[in-house]
Structure 1
Amino acid sequence: MLTGVFINGLAIVMGSLTGVLLRNISEEMKETVTKGIGLGVIALGIQMTISTQSFTLIMISLSIGALIGEALKIETYMNKFGLFLQKHFSKSESSFAEGFVTASLIFVIGSLGIVGAIQSGATGNHETLYTKAVMDGFTAVMLTASFGYGVLFSSIPVVLYQGSIAILANFLVQLIPANFMDELMNEISAIGGLMILGIGLNLLQLTKLRVSNFLPGIIILILLLSLKFVM
């Protein structure tokens, strides 16, 4: 049930270790690579967002989620956790926390991880997560070359997040109507696309969005869609 999840986490670790070997490339090259990833992330975010069938619902969920996220200071605590890891594992890495948070968001948010984890948990089919592992591993190489060891530790939230979904899916997916599941996955992909778009803008240094604080919006969206389905 968790094979695909662990392969995904391992790919991030291996990609990060490979990226360490590229740390000596020039700052100009690192900047170009990082901004190239930013452009790709923006394109992915736009592609995911335009799939929505209810943009109004997405905006409501994102706004309420932002209020909750700011109140809970999710971004602040994620940065503190990254700094805690930096203190214990990489005292010389000034960008450790930024790398951890940025990589965690890129690897966690998105339809591939959610759909793949559900497939793994419900059917034992890991192909989607294997595809995501290849993408994440390559991205980890580039991010580690730019941000350092913090990217390696992003494998922890990825395994915990996708593993939790797979375990829950194993027990719950058979209770959810197929038509509702399709709509749910589509809208989760769309709201995740907006967050991915924010990450891309941050990577290009055009904005300093606290993207982590938007994460509760996914839960709000699920609740609103469930209410809509019941009514």
Structure 2
Amino acid sequence: MLGTIVNSVAIIVGGLAGVLLSKEIPDSFKTTIMQGLGLSVFIIGLTGALKSQNVLLVISSIVLGSIIGEAFAIEDKLQKVGDWLEGNVSKGTEGSMAKGFVTASLIYCVGAMAIVGALESGLTGNHETLYAKSLIDGITAVIFASTLGIGVVFSSIAVFVYQGIITITAAFIKPFLIEEVIREMSAIGGLLIMGIAINLLEIKKISVGNMLPAVFLPIFYPFLEPIVLKIVSFLEILM
């Protein structure tokens, strides 16, 4: 839970700073800061991805996970949930507090980094992803709160509950996961984090949300390994 606690505190501190600073932050500063954060997130993701010792597992998980995610349109469903919350939670309210709370909660919670980071925190005790998210959320909270108001600060409650549930659930299933599976799940998570960084840098829009099932597929690899090896052998014969 440490990563989630740090994340929530970062949003509170950043939000309060944004309220105090109001609209005095130049747009050029905001752009440069976000670009720097995007580069930092990319390095963190790359470091995690390079820990893999089974490239075949990573590739097959990404491919199969992407197929599953696209079939269920996970990213579209996440967006629809966000639209529903924005249309119903803020209905009939006035002022910037409700708008700030809803908007910031959606941005901080409905994203792949929150899910991957919370899982990694619960499964491996590694909070680096959530620390990186904390830095991003804290700085963006300054930007959001400077325009949306004090409601951004209260989005920290949604982040704490949402990521906390994921982390605790992951911790309960940890005894059932072998070291190799955890390592490869983290490596796949690293690849997804690199995708998030590319989105932050606005290089290309990557549907990271639709790739999320890939993180869980290494759990089933011991059962699928014989099939995968046969496919590889078949391809080698063809080549």
Per the TM superposition, whether the score is higher than 0.5 is: yes
Structure 1 window deviating more from structure 2 (141-150 vs 41-50): it is 141-150
Query: Which of 1 and 2 has greater Rg?
Result: 2
Judge conservation of contact 1:66–1:215 (CA < 8 Å) in 2: yes
Judge conservation of contact 2:120–2:186 (CA < 8 Å) in 1: no
Partners of 1:151 and 1:209 in 2: CA distance: 26
CA RMSD of aligned residues (A): 3.1
Partners of 2:200 and 2:129 in 1: CA distance: 20
What secondary structure sits across from 2:137 in the alignment? Answer: helix
Judge conservation of contact 2:39–2:201 (CA < 8 Å) in 1: yes
Instruction: Tell me the amino acid that sits aligned with residue 105 of structure 1.
Output: A
1:14 pairs with 6, 9, 34, which one? 9
Structure 1 window deviating more from structure 2 (41-50 vs 159-168): it is 159-168
Measure how far apart 1:132 and its partner are.
6.5
Pair 1:72 & 2:72 matched: yes
Partners of 1:137 and 1:96 in 2: CA distance: 13
Judge conservation of contact 1:19–1:144 (CA < 8 Å) in 2: yes
Residues 193/158 of structure 1: CA separation in 2 closer, same or farther (3 Å cut): same
Residues 66/151 of structure 1: CA separation in 2 closer, same or farther (3 Å cut): farther
Judge conservation of contact 1:75–1:212 (CA < 8 Å) in 2: yes
Instruction: Tell me the amino acid that sits aligned with residue 14 of structure 2.
Output: G
After TM superposition, list the pairs within 5 Å mapping 1:29-108 onto structure 2.
29-87=29-87, 88-89=89-90, 90-91=98-99, 96=104, 99-100=107-108, 104-108=111-115
In structure 1, the residue matched to 2:116 is: 109
In structure 2, the residue matched to 1:209 is: 206
Percent identity between matched residues is 23
In structure 2, the residue matched to 1:123 is: none
Judge conservation of contact 1:30–1:146 (CA < 8 Å) in 2: yes
Pair 1:162 & 2:167 matched: yes
What secondary structure sits across from 2:203 in the alignment? Answer: coil
What secondary structure sits across from 2:13 in the alignment? Answer: helix
Unaligned runs of 5+ in 2: 91-97, 146-151, 230-239
Paired residues, number:
206
Structure 1 window deviating more from structure 2 (33-42 vs 150-159): it is 150-159
Pair 1:195 & 2:192 matched: yes
Judge conservation of contact 2:112–2:212 (CA < 8 Å) in 1: no
Measure how far apart 1:135 and its partner are.
4.7
